[in-house]
């Protein structure tokens, strides 16, 4: 299984500020994904981050609110901009591994609380 | 649009009481169906991938099966440490994204 490390593991932020979440993978991967899990809900894909190109955002998510960087094949960042309490969630990055390159392994996530 | 529905939303079992969780899905072409376990405050932990109808996989007290419309996660003689939320997700043949169900919150009482 992949080893995925996220920083920070949790944070409490003031509304209107921004937080950048870092995701480090233990080996080179083509695709990295960012998910959000709001309290009591399942996971929703925010965007797919490919190295060397702009991230692809899902419906309902925009680059101005969730800018993503992918400077190399082992690292990505997600910024949550101009935060409001509605952004309080767990943010998770993941990548694909396995025999067929289809199995998604998750990091421990970043628990964000906006006050 | 891919859809994944899990039932029940919550399940309470006594230790040793076997049961099954259901994951119904609608997808144009299935590349894989995934089961995850999630403990509170943690990221999902990968359990199984199923690729084709009729496939079965086992891990300790868990057994996952797949048909063309649904998957079951059977839990045999569960223990309190099996308490967690179990998530099902599907991946379409045309892409890499996963579509998750809402999960089943399992509680196993001693």
Q: What is the mean pLDDT of residues B42-46?
A: 89
pLDDT tens for each residue of B3-16: 999 999 999 999 99
> Whole-angstrom Cα distance, residue B88 to residue B4?
8
Mean pLDDT of A65-72: 95
- Note whether A104 contacts B34, CB cutoff 8 Å: yes
Give the chain A residue whose CA is nearest to the CA of B101: A42
Q: What are the phi and psi torsion angles at B80 (to 5°)?
A: -55, -30
Q: Collapsing DSSP states into helix, strand and coil, what is residue A86? A: helix
Mean pLDDT of B46-72: 95
pLDDT at A14: 97
| B66-102 residue pLDDT tens | 999 999 999 999 999 999 999 999 988 877 788 999 9
For the cut 60, the answer to whether the pLDDT of residue A1 exceeds it is no
pLDDT of residue A98: 65
- Report chain A residues whose CB lies below 8 A from the CB of B100: 42-44
Residues A22, A75 contacting (CB under 8 angstroms)? yes
pLDDT at A10 over 80: yes
- Position A96 confidence tier, pLDDT thresholds 50, 70, 90: confident
Contacts of B98 in chain A (CB under 8 A): 33, 43, 45, 104
* Whole-number Å distance between alpha carbons of A85 and A111: 13
Beta bridge partners, B62, equal B59, B75
Identify which of B32, B96, B103 has the shortest CB distance to residue A42: B103
Q: What is the mean pLDDT of residues A8-17?
A: 96
Cross-strand partners of B30? B92
**A102 pLDDT more than 70:** no
């Amino acid at each position: 299984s992949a080893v995925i490390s996220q920083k920070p593991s949790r944070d409490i932020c003031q509304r209107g500020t921004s937080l950048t979440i870092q995701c480090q993978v233990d080996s080179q991967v083509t695709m990295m994904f960012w998910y959000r899990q709001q309290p009591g809900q399942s996971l929703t894909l925010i965007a797919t981050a490919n190295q060397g190109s702009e991230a692809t955002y899902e419906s309902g998510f925009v680059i101005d609110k969730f800018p993503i960087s992918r400077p190399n094949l082992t690292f990505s960042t997600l910024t949550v901009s101009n935060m409001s309490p509605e952004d309080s969630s767990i943010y998770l990055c993941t990548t694909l591994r396995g025999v067929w390159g289809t199995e998604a392994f998750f990091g421990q996530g970043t628990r964000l609380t906006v006050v | 649009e891919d859809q994944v529905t899990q039932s029940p939303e919550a399940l309470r079992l006594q230790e040793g009481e076997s049961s099954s969780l259901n994951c119904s899905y609608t997808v144009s072409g299935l590349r894989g169906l995934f089961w995850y376990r999630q403990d509170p405050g943690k990221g999902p932990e990968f359990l199984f991938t199923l690729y084709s109808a009729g496939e079965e996989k086992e891990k300790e007290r868990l057994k996952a099966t797949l048909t063309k419309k649904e998957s079951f996660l059977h839990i045999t003689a569960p223990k309190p440490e099996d308490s967690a939320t179990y998530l099902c997700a599907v991946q379409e043949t045309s892409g890499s994204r996963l579509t998750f169900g809402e999960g089943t919150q399992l509680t196993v009482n001693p």
